Structure 1
Amino acid sequence: MNQALNSHQTYLWRIAIYFFFALPGYSMASWVSRTPTIRDALGASTSQMGWIIFGLALGSIIGLLSASHLIAHKGGRFVMAAGLAVSTIGLVIVGIGGSWLINGITVFWGLAVFGFGNGICDVAMNVEGTAVEKAVQKSLLTGYHAAFSVGTLLGAVAGSAAIKAGIPVTVHMGLVVAVILLSVIFLVRLVPAGTGKETGQDSNDPPMSARERMAVWKEPRTVLIGIIVLGMAFAEGSANDWLPLVMVDGYKVTPAMGSFAFGLFVAAMTIGRAAGGMLLDQFGRVVILRGSALFAIAGLLIVIFGQSYAFATVGIVLWGLGAAFGFPVGLSAAGDDPRGVAARVGAVSTAGYLAFLVGPPFLGVIGESVGLLRALIVVLIAVTIAGLLAPAAKPIGLGKENNETKLPHNL
């Protein structure tokens, strides 16, 4: 586990994790920005492209399920750095398959490698984030997830600029790889070794065995937190995949107006996460989760049953604010117990990413029958369940939820 750190070392660690959260967002948006170019180069149909992109989901799930075991043996710093390095290998393979070899199978396996690297890094950076929270006695994970959103925005802007400048996919991916690797080389020195590593030195309990790490999936509290994260991640993922089409099909607006509506959602969610740490320290997890669920419910109701585009955009802002907190707050709650922190954060992360990967296609199937607007009722139900289960995120070992709001802000 981490050695004692002075305030300056802790500050550098805290700042470094913001960048570690931004880098996967940057790399993911870089890939997404070039999907039209790669699709056209491959001559792939929509269904064929769907199967190629499935490689990303496959690699991500394997990475998420493997992460807790890797962190338990190697620590969060090693797994974060290794995950980002592996993801760059995947990007190189994607660039070669989509630009030089023009081979869909190569792109599929490149995405699988990319997804695996991002999957293990995702769990490791959240484990690091929960450790920083404990070190500085402040709620930070919502801000860290806002950094991921900022990284995504920067990647999207850079990708758009690369397309306009006519930069080939391989060159673009090579530049992204260089940015990520150089950043990791600089940042990794600022992160203490051993976070999440199961040694038993800092506890009266022995380190968790592999069987015990798998057993966290049966713990009632972890399961309930996983359901909270699943419901709130479904609210986020459904907007990411469907909101522009929801507005175009449901409100008969132009694609540009649909994209603007999605931009409002992303902006609201990013602003909510940026302010989340302050709100969590003031009101505590349970109040924030209940409030965010109510915001999302109100927003979804307005979008589903609103009669005008202008009114629906109000609902979209509320939906975005509501979706901002569930994932990071759930991960923070999963990390309360230092023993097995990687296993629990990994389990909850997996639940969230299953919602991201499986939820939107499921919504599409329902939307085919009843329309996308009415299909959002499923999201509404999921968010309602998440809000009702909010007390499961109450901090371990604290008699009252408000106890977590009186933390010394020492940095």
Structure 2
Amino acid sequence: MYKKGLVFSAACLGMLIFGIVLISIGSILPALTSKFSLNEISTGTLASLLPFGILIGSIIFGPIVDKYGYKNLLIICSFLVFIGLEGIALSNTFYLLQISIFLIGFGGGILNGVTNALVSDISTGSKGANLSLLGVFFGIGALGMPIVLGLLLKYFSQENIIAGIGILIFIPILFFISIKFPTPKLPQGIALKERTKLLREPLLILFGFVLFFESGMEGLVNNWTTTYLQKEMMVNTENALFALSYFVIAMTVTRLVLGKLLKQVRAYIVLFSCLGIALTGTFVMMFTSSYTIAIIGLVLLGIGFAAGFPVVLGYVGEVYSKISGTAFSFVLVIALIGNMAINYLMGIVAHSFGLQQFTVLLLVSIILMSLLVWRTLKKNPNIINI
């Protein structure tokens, strides 16, 4: 019999690794560009391998975890991230570097899905609250990577630091090996017919497209804020990065608070409240030329975006508890497509109409997501009681 506390700790360690993975390329890309003398096209290709790997991992993890369980997948994918990080640290060819980045994306994508599904499965109630606490560890991993690099680069080479971080991943791997996990829910697997039927499930599709916009908006802020502040508000690079860190900290702290709040307040009320805060943050960003006020706007956006994934994944875990792995896989794939699509759209919009449209695209996305949430609740009023 597994112990919930140990299993939850294992999920948090897996999410911590995913946080490191997601931020890793952004933290080291300038150095890799210099080391391998990459042009803009090669740099863009390199950066795209991480989300591509995450997407592939997200597609395949669901049916595997439903059939074979969590333990082996957590161990294998953590080891893939270790290999990828060591490959980045030690690679002397661009080809090996590409493989390494794809591996950390692929392993990280599976870890993201597996940890969310695992926490949902072991939570008999308050799934959203526990998923929110899980998200805190993503924030710790995402914040920790650039902080560690910043502190240690004075004393060690970047290659040695990356290699050292990779070796530390053996700590969670050993922990995964040492504890028991829930048994597979569907050891016989899911028939292809049933999977196809799931793809046509209206409620699951609605959940997926809510996360389409949530993921897209988070990606917009993470990827475009520094450029927006530099070009539109004439903020220097250091201060722009500092401002972005407030967004990540606000989201992480809010998810810690939501771990308590979602046990006391209906999830849909929390979600709509957070969307209202995000809307306020967008207007603050839209109408200010002050760096200090812009930071306040980013903090409001961090608070506002904190509830999206925990609440919606909590709903998915409740409604599709018997096939949670496959259901999580489906909605997370749609979320990743949203991240890529909305960020690609921002590139086109910025090229054609200017970077000032960054806040306009954020505003439109928040409104569309809010309408989708409202429609989902209207079509499925029983969700209100979850």
Query: Do these two structures clear the TM 0.5 threshold for a shared fold by scoring above it?
Result: yes
Change (3 A) 1:162 1:355: farther
Match of 2:249 in 1: 267
Report the Cα distance in structure 1 between the residues aligned to 2:270 and 2:262, rounded to whole angstroms: 7
Aligned with 1:198 (options 183, 186, 191): 186
| TM-aligned CA distance change 1:218 to 1:22, over 3 Å | same
* d(CA) in 2 for partners of 1:400, 1:29: 34
Residue 35 (structure 1) shift:
2.1
Q: Deviations over 1:298-327 (max 9, x none)?
A: 111221122433333322221111111112
Q: TM-score, normalised by structure 1?
A: 0.86
Q: Aligned equivalents of 1:95 and 1:310: distance in 2?
A: 37
Aligned partner (choices 203, 209, 213) of residue 221 of structure 1: 203
Give a deviation string over 1:330-358, Cα, whole Å, max 9, x none. Answer: 22211112222111111111122223334
Whether the 8 Å contact between 1:60 and 1:118 is mirrored in structure 2 is yes
* 1:126 match: 116
Asked if the contact 2:68–2:187 (Cα under 8 Å) also holds between the matched residues in 1, the reply is no
Deviation at 1:188, TM superposition (A): 4.1
* 2:317 pairs with 1:335: yes
**Contact in 2 for aligned 1:265/1:316 (Cα 8 Å):** yes
Q: Distance in 2 between matches of 1:214 and 1:82?
A: 28
Q: Tell me the CA shift for residue 282 of structure 1.
A: 1.9
Residue by residue over 1:83-129, the C-alpha shift from the partner in whole angstroms, topping out at 9 and shown as x without a partner, is 111122222222232xxx2x222211221122111111111111011
2:170 match: 181
Q: What is the deviation of 1:132?
A: 2.6
| CA deviation map 1:259-301 (0-9, x unaligned) | 2321221121111111112222222221112111111111112
Segment of structure 1 superposing worse, 124-133 or 174-183: 174-183
Select 2:212's aligned residue among 230, 233, 239. 230
The correspondence for 1:241, drawn from 202, 223, 238, is 223
Q: 1:53 to 1:138 in 2, by over 3 A?
A: closer
Q: Does residue 306 in structure 1 map to residue 288 in structure 2?
A: yes
Task: Name the amino acid aligned to 1:347.
Answer: F
Match in the other structure for 1:151: 141
1:83 lines up with 2:71 in the alignment: no
| SS of aligned partner of 2:124 | helix
Q: Measured at CA, do residues 278 and 392 of structure 1 come closer, stay the same or move farther in structure 2, by a change above 3 Å?
A: farther
- Equivalent residue number for residue 337 of structure 2: 354
Residues 263 and 137 (structure 1), Cα distance of their counterparts in 2 relative to 1, 3 Å cut: closer
Q: What amino acid sits opposite 1:315 in the alignment?
A: G
CA contact (8 A) 1:81 1:121 kept: no
Ranges of 4+ aligned residues in structure 1 off by more than 6 Å: 135-138
Evaluate the alpha carbon distance shift between residue 186 and residue 400 of structure 1 in structure 2; reply closer, same or farther with a 3 A threshold. Answer: closer
Spell out, residue by residue over 1:140-185, the C-alpha distance to the aligned partner (whole angstroms, 9 max, x if none).
111111111101222222222342223251x333322221122221
Residue from 270, 276, 279 that aligns with 1:294: 276
CA distance in structure 2 between the partners assigned to 1:11 and 1:166 by the alignment: 37
| Alignment CA distance shift 1:289-1:21 (3 Å) | same
Question: AA paired with 2:170?
Answer: L
Query: Per-residue deviation at 1:365?
Result: 1.8
Q: Which residue of 2 aligns with 1:321?
A: 303
SS of the equivalent of 2:190 reads coil
- Where in structure 2 are there 5+ consecutive unaligned residues? none
2:58 to 52, 55, 64: 64
Distance in 1 (alpha carbons) for counterparts of 2:291 and 2:349: 23
- Note if contact 2:54-2:105 (Cα within 8 Å) is conserved in structure 1: yes
Are 1:133 and 1:139, in contact at CA under 8 Å, matched by a contact in 2?
A: no
* Conservation of the 8 A alpha-carbon contact between 2:14 and 2:112: no
Task: Tell me, in whole angstroms, the C-alpha distance in 2 between the residues paired with 1:33 and 1:137.
Answer: 32
Change (3 A) 1:332 1:245: same
Give the letter for the 2:275 counterpart. A
* Structure 1 match to 2:30: 36
For 2:5, give the aligned amino acid: Y
Three-state SS of the structure 2 residue aligned to 1:252 is coil
Sort the Cα spacing of 1:323 and 1:105 in 2 relative to 1 into closer, same or farther, 3 A: same
Alignment of 1:387 with 2:370, yes or no, is yes
Identity %: 21
**Alpha-carbon distance, 1:42 to partner:** 0.2
Relative to the length of structure 2, the TM-score reads 0.91
